[in-house]
A and B are shown apart, each in its own frame.
Chain A
Amino acid sequence: IIPRGTWRHKKTQVKSRRGLRVRFPQKCDPRLTDEHSVCKTKENKTRTVHANILYDNAKGEENPNRHYANNKIKTTKYTLLSFLPKNLFEQFHRFANVYFVFIALLNFVPVVNAFQPELALAPVVFILSVTAIKDLWEDYRRHRSDKEINHMDCLVYSRVERRYVEKYWKEVRVGDFIRLRCNEILPADVLLLTSSDPDRLCHIETATLDGETNLKQRQVVRSFFDLDCDFDPTKYNSIIECEKPNNDLNRFRGYIIHRSGRRDALYKENLLLRGCTIRNTEEAVGIVIYAGHETKAMLNNNGPRYKRSKLERQMNVDVFWCVIILLVMCLFAAVGHGLWMFQYGDKRPVFDVLSPEGTDLSPIMSAIYLFLTMIIVFQVLIPISLFVSIEIVKICQVFFIHQDMDLYDEETDSHLQCRALNITEDLGQMQYIFSDKTGTLTENKMVFRRCTVAGVEYSHDPHGQWTSLSCHTRSPRSSRYLLLTDKPSSVLQEKDITPDPQLLDKVNECSSQMDFMRFHSQPMSQLPSDLSDIIDFFIALTICNTVVVSSPNQPRQKVKLSEGYAPPALSSSLITNRSSNRGCSSILSSPSAESTLTKLDEEKPPNLEHTFSPVPPCYSEKAWAVAEGELRYEAESPDEAALVYAARAYKCSLVGRLPDQVTVELPHLGKLSFELLHTLGFDSTRKRMSVVVRHPLTDQITVYTKGADSVIMDLIKPPNTGENSHSIVYRTQNYLNLYAADGLRTLCIAKKVLTKEEYACWLQRHLEAETAIQGREELLFESALRLETNLHLLGATGIEDRLQDGVPETIASLRKAGLQIWVLTGDKQETAVNIAYACKLLEPEEEILTLNADSQEACALLLEESLHYIQAKFLCSSADHAAKAFTANFAPFEIYPSSSPSSSSVPFMVHRLGLVIDGRTLAYALDKSLEDKFLAVARSCRSVLCCRSTPLQKSMVVKLVRNKLKVMTLAIGDGANDVSMIQVADVGVGISGQEGMQAVMASDFALPRFRYLQKLLLVHGHWCYSRLANMILYFFYKNAMFVALIFWYQFYCGFSGSAMIDQWYLIFFNLMFSAFPQLITGTLDKDVSAETLQQLPQLYISGQNSEEYKPYMFWMNMIDAFYQSLVCFFIPYFAYADSDVDLFTWGTPITTLALFTILLHLGIETKTWTWMNWLSISFSIALFFTVALCYNASCPTCYSPSNPYWTMQRLLQDPLFYFLCVITPVTALLPRYFYRACQGTLFPSPVQVGRQLDKLPAETRRNILSLSRVKVGSPLSTKPPFLSLAKPLPKGSNKTEKGSFPSPKASQGSILQTHDTRKCHKRSQSEPLGPKHSEKSLSDLYTLMSTEGDTLPYTKDSQCLDKTLDVSVSSWITSTPQTDSVELPPDRGSSQCVRYTRNSEEGLGSEPSVHQPGRRTEQRPEPASLTTS
């Protein structure tokens, strides 16, 4: 229900669960293709819509529209009547519920019943009703918002009153005429029949549907186009035939049949979709085609996603084990009972009561009945409340994630959205991240940087500053700058373009020449080709797009050319506003010289113009001023806007766009209107778009094409005209490579002039394609291919896409967290590689394997070679590792361990290698035969970069990694092309950025910025995971412990299924007495503070390896549970042995003890004690005693069989009870407590160390963490030098001496120590805290380090570097003691192993590739066009 969602923005964001999921057009949708191929009868496939007013009199029966859904929407699931049955039915889909109901019903069978049947129903009923109430409430909210929407007003034409009358939305029916006014929301899918706009356009905003915020134009149906007078509904008598309702937002096909029999095709451009908002249009009238639930918006509303998390899967396995334990226990009891019966033989003892009928049961029959009874008694072992508790805890977790201030983006006023509520803990277990580049790592705010026209480069930087900044030096700079200003995006915009003076001159010259020629009626073809190329280049930039021009006025008014210019007052105020903005931003940007310069430059152009250009016509000057202040371009992609703004900087500005006409303002020439014949839109297969226009000056039919250089270059007309054009292409390609090397996005601009005949020929077939109902897309595609050939290259552009804030830092820390980051991008290889360097995905000292192959075989060979190379290179790292890797590589099918690989045990090493692969090679590599090899190569590389990949390939890569490596994958992206990848990954994250909401709609989590991923994963993911894991384990423990008490008792009651615990306690123990503390702990417990988690990303590894919840932990917990229950059972047993205690007076203390033990157990496992923890535990205990006392005083004759009247009261007077309450929990928890203490000292997990770090005073912690950052940042050694800091620190007074004057043991040690001691003294002086703290924390760090070494196998490589270590390290220490800006010494250690060439030195313009075996790689058939230079 789209409209509802986004009208009230705040709500949508929060209850994102109900948000809309847009289905994107999928060519291969089997359903659709089926529809195409199997030609059914026409009636089944189309809908016929007549106007309702024709049938007003004929009541309902004859109205042909009566079968169509009306506009009343009902998204509620239930009605008052159907709620109970329907809700129950739904709840019973959950297996656990069925199980519990089954058990409750079993109680009604007298032979086997264990509890009072009514009582046994209580927990199930409780659980079911909690869920039902939740559902009911949700449904009620849906009902309320439905009602609100249904009662919105709109104008519907009434035949009786002969005018438009206000009606509720729900009264709108298919076939009604609706009048829409500006800023109204469309109540239904409406076919646009007329518009007040003189161009018969209607602008709509589709943000609520697809999140795209730019305006879209919709056209009046062609046959109503020429209507001069107002549209009169009474005269309408056409019939519309169109598709059945479907959920494809981008498709609408049909035709309208007029009385005359004329047919006109209908396109999606004619359809206004429900939920969109009318903008810029005074009034429009349309006929309702689809209403209510049949609208495309409603059909797209697919409810929330349901995913099952890894933890839950693991938990289900253990639930299954619980079932087995349960059955074994029941079986044991049943056999025991049979034997017990058997031993008495015929002498039936007096306490073995006969069945109610007085018949004697055989031992075997008793055993069978008993088995069922035991299942009832032990049912608690399958934790009934676990599922509910997990849901509650997850909701709380989602709430806290939502509330996190750090995940809130001030700039866009948006915060993180959790769209999938049940996979929060998966965030803590990610192993692979697949990221999109554009818009995800980068801002997706495009800035026009450079262009080349006709083979001449215009660098757009008069001061040469830009060119001097190579990629590597620039990236740290820019990132630091980002940190300083914090709002870099406000500094640089698409609009801020400094025109290159040279080019500007040429443009001026050219246009004045053209003006001259026009004046003298000379044919334009006489213009020198380079000048005409320039003007064509800018014309192409201006018109070859779908940019809409609008003014920034508050009521969004399209600039109407016919009405002249906007009132001067308004425009001037806007201009001042702008300039004040500018002043503000320049203050902001003061640290950056670069951007201030840009600002200054921007001021120049008008002056330049005045000095250089001949006196321009007066109107042009004025128009320019107005346009400057007022025109705004709204583009579907930021690239386009950037190009249009760039062209405007060269005075070639787009001033108006109509469906059939584009108006361009050129210097000297004034406004030129290009007749827009066709627009062949951009698609990801063609990777280009074209417009066909009639040039107003030459009257030629010209095709302007803009697209990816790889495709355009192939379409360039073969150079038959001469050497010149060839060299232009060659030079342009050269510049393109340079642009790409600088990390710019490149586009090629080309044109083609068609002769009339050619055009007519093409047009005919194109029209055929357009009018086809079936396979229209394919036909149009082919038609476009026919047109876009033999192009004439005009030039190329380079657009900068700035990195988002904090991306390099985020990537670095995610990588430290053991995450493998793969970047999958559609960009070209060079651009991608450079961005990868800029965001520290690739390190300069890292070696890069580049895979470019143009055939399957080549790809296979390349992969094979890479494998060999990796083996050879890293053979020396360590014998056994290499051996493992070796075998692994030769047996590609064995490299995937059957279980999910935990990095601690997996032999697979991640080397310091980067892999770059392009789309074509990727296609080969993803082939079934090669995918294993590809994976073997890719997984041994530290970073993988897939360029030029299609959306499908992206999802295939994710799928491959996910399925083959059995790892947890996260895909993050922002655009529609990432949707498939996001859906395939275990966790999909959408960036709610510039490219619409499609990715967000498909995602599980939506972030405003990439850098928030760090906190989301490292902190919230870690917390959610560890909380839930601990809670689940605790649940299993708790139930097992409690049930085992009864099990032990069976040995003393003849396995009769008797329970000493009162059935009330037994049933409500889980539900009430012990429920709250674990929920509080499961929601609030923090094992390590957020700061430490972020500063020590290594802690994340515990989640990846599932260290909080390993399979053996379940069994350890079970064993502990059994031990504890033994203690809790046998201490009271012996304490009351051979006494006159009765059954329930004995059972009540046991219950109490069990409660204490269970709560204290939770206490041991709780890491942070807030007041809520204390409160919940005291509440639980108080609740138990209150309930017990009330219950035991309430009724002397009820609650058979226990009838516990006054039991608790008596117990409280019994000192023995208190003595039991003290000793039993202590004894029961002794082993666990002792184990935890030993573990904390002897082999603390990294997480525990992190916790110890938390305890330190803030300053010490900061010091240590800053050190650790250096340490982790340097992958040189497993034993970073600062560790020896610990030694000289005085531990106690006796050790000081020994510490500060260390006996030099090894040469290495001594060097380090001297440095360190010095440093340390400084440090200890500056530290106000006691030495003990720092000493301890440093020791902790050591542990951390060593674990890191274990888990990140690639650091093991450094084992062979030991000898060189001292040199590099000492130099490093002396150079800079502080943090990140440290320039790492050259990795000279590695030269010991294998000759190790550093790519950074080779320059980036050249092809980075593997060197030694890579030489052979290069001899391979050259990959198309990429490896030149």
Chain B
Amino acid sequence: MMASTYNAKDEDGHITVAGPGGGTLRSRKPENTAFKQQRLPAWQPILTAGTVLPAFFVIGLIFIPIGIGLYVTSNNIKEFEIDYTGVDMSSPCFNCSQNFSWNSTRPCTCSIPFYLDQPYESNVFMYYGLSNFYQNHRRYVKSRDDSQLNGDSEALTKPSKECEPYAFHDNKPIAPCGAIANSMFNDSLELFYNDPNGTKVQIHLMKTGIAWWTDKHVKFRNPGGNNPNLTVAFQGTTKPVNWRKPVYELDSDQENDGFINEDFIVWMRTAALPTFRKLYRIIQKKKDMVLTLPRGNYTLEVVYNYPVRSFEGRKRMILSTISWMGGKNPFLGIAYITVGSVCFFLGVVLLIIHHKYGNRNNSADISN
């Protein structure tokens, strides 16, 4: 063991390593692999003006056309919007809007005339829009019971505590429970076309097909299985406090009643932002007609139930066609164009930098 007197490694080394603990003399030399020696082949990009230049130009060149395309697409979408909140004295719905109560027995109606200055050719989607309505409030969003909405009989009678304080009313379970359901939008909107010859033609509004297919067929189910009699299925429950009718009377159509009522389903999909729109009806293009909605005068008949004045809310009706990229929104097109231009501009800046300073050190050298 005398490493100090003898050069190590000869017979001495043996004793140290192969002590009574055993073990053979095996070199502890690390393996010479690319991984262990940290020599994996690698791509090493270096970010300098010269190397990133092409990226900027390429981004600019790709983005600007995309942006233009998106912008054009968006501009081709026709959209009409009318605010029927009735804040102004002059508004036809002013009187109705003075009603702050949810449960006023007397239905208030108002009709708002408007003029469409361009014809709508394809299917028209009719939305109602609410502003300043915080459907995304944390406690509001939580206040629902998905099991109940999925037709779970147990949850029907014992709503989840998430629904509190909208779970029970008069000791009866509320169906559907929770604040979202309780505050369901209950204005009804009807659209009339004022024929130039003076007749008022009601426009057929499709009630179905407005909700997600999966919502309608998977997430939302009426209790009681296939029992056609919803009244029985919902026996023992009570309607939400703010509702006028129980849930099984939302529609006469069996396929659109109870929890699977599409207006209800749409409402239950809580909006992301305080200003939102929700699909209300679809005006389908008739096969024989060229135009879905011809240019001309229309009247919007509103049964004004939904109080929004208490929270400075606004209600709107929107008519819109849609394209492959959704509703009218020029933002994305503009954003693409802007970012593309900025990239292009920065590319130019980098080009200048590259030309001027890429060799700066050399020139500095010479001048010195």
In this assembly, does A356 line the interface, its C-beta being within 8 Å of a C-beta of chain B? Answer: yes
In this assembly, does A1205 line the interface, its C-beta being within 8 Å of a C-beta of chain B? Answer: yes
The reply to whether A13 and B359 contact each other, CB–CB distance below 8 Å, is: no
B153 to A: closest C-beta gap in Å:
13
The reply to whether B219 and A1203 contact each other, CB–CB distance below 8 Å, is: yes
Q: Which of B51, B100, B165 contacts A1237 (CB 8 A)?
A: B51
B189 to A: closest C-beta gap in Å:
15
With A349-B134, A1248-B46, A1283-B365 known as contacts, the answer to whether A1219 contacts B165 (CB < 8 A) is no
With A405-B29, A1169-B43, A1223-B339 known as contacts, the answer to whether A353 contacts B38 (CB < 8 A) is no
Q: How far is the CA of A412 from the CA of B15 in the complex (A)?
A: 14
Q: Which of A1142, A1170, A1287 contacts B362 (CB 8 A)?
A: A1287
In the bound complex, residues from chain A placing their C-beta under 8 Å from that of B70 are: 1219
With A349-B310, A1053-B274 known as contacts, the answer to whether A994 contacts B44 (CB < 8 A) is no
Residue of A with least CB distance to B2: A634
In this assembly, does A1251 line the interface, its C-beta being within 8 Å of a C-beta of chain B? Answer: yes
Q: How far is the CA of A1305 from the CA of B367 in the complex (A)?
A: 8
The reply to whether A214 and B142 contact each other, CB–CB distance below 8 Å, is: no
The reply to whether B63 and A1223 contact each other, CB–CB distance below 8 Å, is: yes
Q: How far is the CA of A1040 from the CA of B146 in the complex (A)?
A: 33
B217 to A: closest C-beta gap in Å:
10
The reply to whether A1201 and B41 contact each other, CB–CB distance below 8 Å, is: no
Complex interface bits, A1278-1289 against B, C-beta within 8 A gives 1, otherwise 0: 010001101100
With A1137-B329, A1230-B346, A1255-B46 known as contacts, the answer to whether A1197 contacts B365 (CB < 8 A) is no
In the bound complex, residues from chain A placing their C-beta under 8 Å from that of B43 are: 1168-1170
Q: Which of B227-273 contact A (CB under 8 A)?
A: 242, 266, 269-273
The reply to whether B342 and A1230 contact each other, CB–CB distance below 8 Å, is: yes
With A1226-B59, A1309-B368 known as contacts, the answer to whether A356 contacts B161 (CB < 8 A) is yes
Q: Which of B164, B183, B354, B361 contacts A356 (CB 8 A)?
A: B164
The reply to whether A1237 and B212 contact each other, CB–CB distance below 8 Å, is: no
Q: Which of B304-331 contact A (CB under 8 A)?
A: 310-311, 313, 324-327, 329, 331
The reply to whether B361 and A1339 contact each other, CB–CB distance below 8 Å, is: yes
The reply to whether A412 and B146 contact each other, CB–CB distance below 8 Å, is: no
The reply to whether A1291 and B362 contact each other, CB–CB distance below 8 Å, is: yes
Stretch from A50-58, A774-782, A1127-1135, A1257-1265 at the B interface: A1127-1135
Residue of A with least CB distance to B41: A1170
In this assembly, does A1371 line the interface, its C-beta being within 8 Å of a C-beta of chain B? Answer: no
Q: Which of B32, B146, B266 contacts A1198 (CB 8 A)?
A: B146
Consensus secondary structure, chain A interface: mixed
The reply to whether B339 and A1226 contact each other, CB–CB distance below 8 Å, is: yes
In the bound complex, residues from chain B placing their C-beta under 8 Å from that of A873 are: none
Q: How far is the CA of A1200 from the CA of B178 in the complex (A)?
A: 13
Q: Give the bracket for the number of chain A residues in contact with chain B.
A: 35 or more
With A13-B28, A1140-B127, A1198-B146 known as contacts, the answer to whether A185 contacts B165 (CB < 8 A) is no
With A1198-B146, A1240-B49 known as contacts, the answer to whether A1056 contacts B137 (CB < 8 A) is yes
In the bound complex, residues from chain B placing their C-beta under 8 Å from that of A817 are: none
Q: How far is the CA of A1230 from the CA of B346 in the complex (A)?
A: 9
The reply to whether A1237 and B4 contact each other, CB–CB distance below 8 Å, is: no
With A277-B19, A1090-B38, A1219-B66 known as contacts, the answer to whether A10 contacts B26 (CB < 8 A) is yes
Complex interface bits, A349-364 against B, C-beta within 8 A gives 1, otherwise 0: 1111111111000000
In this assembly, does A552 line the interface, its C-beta being within 8 Å of a C-beta of chain B? Answer: yes
| Most chain A C-beta atoms within 10 Å of own C-beta, residue among B26, B133, B139, B360 | B139
In this assembly, does A1196 line the interface, its C-beta being within 8 Å of a C-beta of chain B? Answer: yes
Q: Which of A13, A402, A1139 contacts B326 (CB 8 A)?
A: A1139
Complex interface bits, B3-29 against A, C-beta within 8 A gives 1, otherwise 0: 111111101111111011111001111
Q: How far is the CA of A552 from the CA of B311 in the complex (A)?
A: 98
In this assembly, does B40 line the interface, its C-beta being within 8 Å of a C-beta of chain A? Answer: yes
The reply to whether B20 and A352 contact each other, CB–CB distance below 8 Å, is: no
The reply to whether B362 and A1201 contact each other, CB–CB distance below 8 Å, is: no
In this assembly, does B147 line the interface, its C-beta being within 8 Å of a C-beta of chain A? Answer: yes
Q: How far is the CA of A1286 from the CA of B360 in the complex (A)?
A: 12
Q: How far is the CA of A261 from the CA of B271 in the complex (A)?
A: 98
Residue of A with least CB distance to B26: A10
In this assembly, does A117 line the interface, its C-beta being within 8 Å of a C-beta of chain B? Answer: no
In the bound complex, residues from chain A placing their C-beta under 8 Å from that of B51 are: 1237, 1240
Complex interface bits, B52-78 against A, C-beta within 8 A gives 1, otherwise 0: 100110010001001000100000000
Q: How many residues of B contact A (CB 8 A)?
A: 129
With A351-B135, A1139-B329 known as contacts, the answer to whether A183 contacts B20 (CB < 8 A) is yes
| Most chain A C-beta atoms within 10 Å of own C-beta, residue among B21, B135, B138, B346 | B138
Q: Which of A1151-1205 contact B (CB under 8 A)?
A: 1164, 1167-1172, 1196-1198, 1200-1201, 1203, 1205
B46 to A: closest C-beta gap in Å:
6
In this assembly, does B198 line the interface, its C-beta being within 8 Å of a C-beta of chain A? Answer: no
Stretch from B112-120, B275-283, B287-295 at the A interface: B275-283
Q: Which of A344, A632, A1171 contacts B6 (CB 8 A)?
A: A632
In the bound complex, residues from chain B placing their C-beta under 8 Å from that of A264 are: none
A1294 to B: closest C-beta gap in Å:
12
The reply to whether B48 and A1169 contact each other, CB–CB distance below 8 Å, is: no
Residue of B with least CB distance to A1135: B332
Q: Which of B40, B44, B364 contacts A1255 (CB 8 A)?
A: B44
Q: How far is the CA of A355 from the CA of B279 in the complex (A)?
A: 30
Residue of B with least CB distance to A414: B28
Residue of B with least CB distance to A1139: B327
The reply to whether A635 and B5 contact each other, CB–CB distance below 8 Å, is: yes
Q: Which of A213, A1053, A1251, A1335 contacts B138 (CB 8 A)?
A: A1053
With A9-B17, A1054-B134, A1056-B138 known as contacts, the answer to whether A489 contacts B7 (CB < 8 A) is yes
With A412-B8, A1169-B44, A1237-B47 known as contacts, the answer to whether A1058 contacts B23 (CB < 8 A) is no
Q: How far is the CA of A1233 from the CA of B271 in the complex (A)?
A: 35
Q: How far is the CA of A786 from the CA of B11 in the complex (A)?
A: 45
In this assembly, does B201 line the interface, its C-beta being within 8 Å of a C-beta of chain A? Answer: no
In this assembly, does B107 line the interface, its C-beta being within 8 Å of a C-beta of chain A? Answer: no
With A277-B20, A353-B143, A1205-B219 known as contacts, the answer to whether A415 contacts B137 (CB < 8 A) is no
In the bound complex, residues from chain B placing their C-beta under 8 Å from that of A9 are: 16-17, 19, 21, 23
In this assembly, does A594 line the interface, its C-beta being within 8 Å of a C-beta of chain B? Answer: no
The reply to whether B5 and A1237 contact each other, CB–CB distance below 8 Å, is: no
In the bound complex, residues from chain A placing their C-beta under 8 Å from that of B30 are: 402-405, 408, 415
Q: Which of B26, B45, B66, B272 contacts A1147 (CB 8 A)?
A: B272
In this assembly, does B108 line the interface, its C-beta being within 8 Å of a C-beta of chain A? Answer: no
Q: How far is the CA of A1286 from the CA of B364 in the complex (A)?
A: 10
Q: Which of A1267-1324 contact B (CB under 8 A)?
A: 1279, 1283-1284, 1286-1287, 1291, 1302, 1305, 1309
Q: How far is the CA of A414 from the CA of B29 in the complex (A)?
A: 8
The reply to whether B40 and A1052 contact each other, CB–CB distance below 8 Å, is: no
In the bound complex, residues from chain A placing their C-beta under 8 Å from that of B46 are: 1240, 1248, 1251-1252, 1255
In the bound complex, residues from chain B placing their C-beta under 8 Å from that of A994 are: 3-4
The reply to whether A1241 and B134 contact each other, CB–CB distance below 8 Å, is: no
In the bound complex, residues from chain B placing their C-beta under 8 Å from that of A1220 are: 332
In this assembly, does B31 line the interface, its C-beta being within 8 Å of a C-beta of chain A? Answer: yes
Stretch from A36-44, A287-295, A490-498, A860-868 at the B interface: A490-498
With A213-B16, A408-B28, A1056-B138 known as contacts, the answer to whether A403 contacts B36 (CB < 8 A) is yes
Residue of A with least CB distance to B30: A403
In this assembly, does A633 line the interface, its C-beta being within 8 Å of a C-beta of chain B? Answer: yes
Would you list 12 pairs from A and B whose C-beta atoms are within 8 A, ordered by A residue? A9-B17, A400-B36, A641-B4, A1054-B134, A1058-B141, A1134-B335, A1138-B276, A1139-B276, A1143-B136, A1203-B146, A1210-B214, A1283-B365
- B interface residue numbers (CB < 8 A to A): 1-9, 11-17, 19-23, 26-32, 36-38, 40-52, 55-56, 59, 63, 66, 70, 100, 102, 127, 129, 133-147, 149-150, 152, 160-162, 164-166, 179, 182-183, 212, 214-215, 218-219, 242, 266, 269-279, 310-311, 313, 324-327, 329, 331-332, 335-336, 339, 342-343, 346, 350, 353-354, 357-362, 364-368
Q: Which 9 A-B pairs have the closest CB atoms?
A: A7-B21, A1339-B361, A213-B1, A356-B164, A1240-B48, A358-B165, A349-B311, A1146-B272, A1168-B42
